[in-house]
Amino acid sequence: MKIEKVRVDGYRLLSDFQLDLCDDLSLIIGKNNTGKTSLLNVMSTSLSGRNSYDFEDFSVPIQKALLAAMLAEVSAYPLLDPRISLEVEIRYDESDNLRNLSKLMVDLSPQARTVNLRFRTEIDRDQFMLLYSDFASSINAIETALGQSLSDHEKREEAQRFLTNNLHGYLTRTIISFDPADLTNFHDLSNELQAIRNVVNIEYVGARRSVENRDATRSGKTAGRALSRLSSQYFDGNTGNNSVSEPFIRLAAQAAVTDRIFSEKYKEVFHEIIEKVKQFGASAGITGEIHVLSNIRPKTLLDDSTSVKYGDPDSLLPEDHNGLGYLNLIAIIMEIEIRVLHMRTAAGGIPSDINLLVIEEPEAHTHPQLQYIFIRQIKKLLQAHKSDRGLQVQTLLTTHSSHITEASDFADIKYFRRIENRVVARNMTDLERVYASEPKEYHFLKQYLTLTRAELFFADKAVFIEGDTERILMRAMMQKIDASDPYCESTLGSQNISVVEVGAHSQIFDHFIEFTGIKALIITDIDSARVDESETEKGVKVLKLVASPVEEGTHTSNGALQHYFGIKQSNSDEVGALAGLRERTCVEKQLRKVNGVWEVSSDSPSLFVAYQTLEEGYEARSYEDAFIHINRSYIERNIGDFKGLQNKKFFENKNNNSYKLAESCVKKKTHFALDLIYLESALAADEDSWKIPSYISEGLRWLRDAE
């Protein structure tokens, strides 16, 4: 038995939203403000039986509809139903114990395998009319007190304030199980919370875990006692049920023995004062003696007289001497264990059929290595509870950590993407289906993302580059562009941009760019080529493309350009696609995918493909070619400092163009790039620096301004 799907409507950004849950762990990732925490909140609020929604919890369209209805001259129910709903689809099979679930079933047919629950919070028509009337009375009272009428703007502000402060009091909650194929067939469960809890229980480990490593305060209470407090909660969870394990029974027995010892010692300690009390009591005619008895409770000891320390037995240190990351990891593990204890007794002393464990952002304060350890071990930990205790646990884990994502199973990932004013959840298995006809490409993408570049899932924008030279210099180029536009409000440096080296494989990211909705800039080479004719030993003519300067070329050998611009050319063609590439304008390099095909579009393009263009009377073939052409004088002035160049005397011959210099003089591209970084750092304030090739500058400015 498991929860297969959850659907949310009307809650913040979650409208007409659906999420497929994995059997064990669902890793929820996405950029900031994509509804990850909202999903956890609506699930926790609904499944725990709380009815604590406010005006701000409704989606923006519903808020606007409510405001408009409140300000209307005649009371009328809002055009959009003001409701928040969570639907949970439970799947079961013949091997499951259906004792609890049967009480929620509405479809009793033999082939039925799902139960659907709906938790809905809304303001119905009668309650809205009362709300409207109460608001009108409030406005009348305000206007009477002020002695004047409110303006339309003031009434709108009052309506906003009134709804914010009061709407929760007019909301009603209903819970039903229903048949999706026949909505008239339902069972009202609004007063059957325990019946629901017997089937589904939710436990929440929040992101705020209060772990600190500050020094003790003046009052003597340490700020870093989070682990000790959790130890107390763990003990309480283990002793607050009917199945107390042997270690806890022995601890209670030891407390009883200690009680007797302490009680005997108390007789000696308090003997003098007890005798005096007896004398006063006898004079007052009071009989009986006072006894001071020990009453040790293990939980109280844990609360007040126990601390968690770490280290070797001979050198123990307090918990607040630990690093925050390690404290946080320990706190998460302890909190998970406490939640598991709650699960064991959630359904009247026994576990619920399904237990949802929600873990929010476990990466807080934790360095990458601990994040890797956590995600690799969490499944083992939960599986151990499942095997040992028979708990059915499904875990939802949200994260902003690329390290946790890299160490996770690709199939567990649920990617949240914001599209305008709503959020869509996508499964990584959906991406696999998109690549169904390209299995090798999908395998490469999967390996690449999970091994080295999971940061792409969290970036707003991305730059795909080919080689080390561009990777080393890209951030410096961004800084130069920002410095050249000091009045630009949204600089490249202030944006969440990921720079990714993909070699000659940027076309493999085609479906990924569309899947994530990321704004992407591909910086590549025009790779001009010409058709060369040769003969085999048997005299057979063979045509093949060979690299050539742009002005001599007819084709491009660049796979990315061929892919994204839909270029089809043959090595036997006399005229290839190079001429068309050379003539493309900036607008014609902006693309958007329409019906599976990349098309030129200046209307919300998602991709810009940048390659070498005419600059200062010359067309370069590669990055080094373009860079040397516009920076030749700079290189010549500093030629002695370039360790990555060879054949330096070639620069003295003005007949050697940048194509020849790039081919003959760049010994190691990475060394050449590092030379430029070094020279930039040693540059005097009044000296000229190197320049960015125009095609890169053009692409980066597009990316900066893309929305």
Are both 541 and 630 inside the same structural domain? yes
CA distance linking residue 510 with residue 92, whole number of Å: 38
Nearest to 39 by CA among 76, 3, 86: 86
pLDDT digit string, tens, across residues 435-465 = 999 999 999 999 998 877 899 999 999 999 9
At residue 317, the pLDDT reads: 52
Contact 331, 209 (CB under 8 A): yes
Are both 358 and 220 inside the same structural domain? no
CB-based burial of residue 421 (10 Å sphere; 0-12 exposed, 13-18 middle, 19+ buried)?
exposed
The tokens for 69 are 């209805």
CA distance linking residue 449 with residue 457, whole number of Å: 9
Are both 2 and 34 inside the same structural domain? yes
Question: Which residue is listed with tokens 């194509």?
Answer: 659
What domain range includes position 219?
214-321
Are both 108 and 198 inside the same structural domain? yes
Q: Residue 687 — very low, low, confident or very high, per pLDDT cuts 50/70/90?
A: low
Nearest to 566 by CA among 550, 545, 584, 546: 584
Are both 437 and 309 inside the same structural domain? no
Q: Is residue 484 part of a domain?
A: no
- pLDDT beyond 60 at 672: yes
- pLDDT beyond 90 at 35: yes
At residue 213, the pLDDT reads: 46
Are both 34 and 77 inside the same structural domain? yes
Residue 506 neighbours by CB under 8 Å, 6+ apart? 464, 466, 522, 524, 560
- 114, HSE (Cβ side, Cα atoms, 13 Å): 14
**Dihedrals φ, ψ of 362, to 5°?**
-70, -5
Q: What is the chain's mean pLDDT, rounded? A: 86
Q: Is the pTM of this model over 0.95?
A: no
pLDDT digit string, tens, across residues 128-144 = 999 999 999 999 999 99
Residue 22 neighbours by CB under 8 Å, 6+ apart? 394, 411, 412
Q: Residue 696 — very low, low, confident or very high, per pLDDT cuts 50/70/90?
A: very high
CA 650 to chain centre: 52
Q: Is residue 456 part of a domain?
A: no
Domain boundary among 424, 451, 478: 451
At residue 220, the pLDDT reads: 39
DSSP 3-state assignment of 121? strand
Burial 145-178 (b: 16+ CB within 10 A, else e): eeeeeeeeeebeebbeebbeeebbebbeebbbbb
Domain boundary among 423, 451, 479: 451
Total of domains in the chain = 3
Domain boundary among 451, 486, 504: 451
Contact 371, 401 (CB under 8 A): yes
- pLDDT beyond 60 at 319: no
Are both 75 and 115 inside the same structural domain? yes
- pLDDT beyond 80 at 587: yes
The mean pLDDT value for 203-218 works out to 60
Q: Is residue 111 part of a domain?
A: yes
At residue 222, the pLDDT reads: 43
Are both 678 and 699 inside the same structural domain? yes
Q: Is residue 547 part of a domain?
A: yes
CA distance linking residue 428 with residue 222, whole number of Å: 45
CA distance linking residue 124 with residue 133, whole number of Å: 14
Are both 597 and 643 inside the same structural domain? yes
Q: Is residue 660 part of a domain?
A: yes
- The CATH number of whichever domain residue 194 belongs to comes to 3.40.50.300
Q: Check residue 58 and report its DSSP letter.
A: B
The tokens for 278 are 């007896």
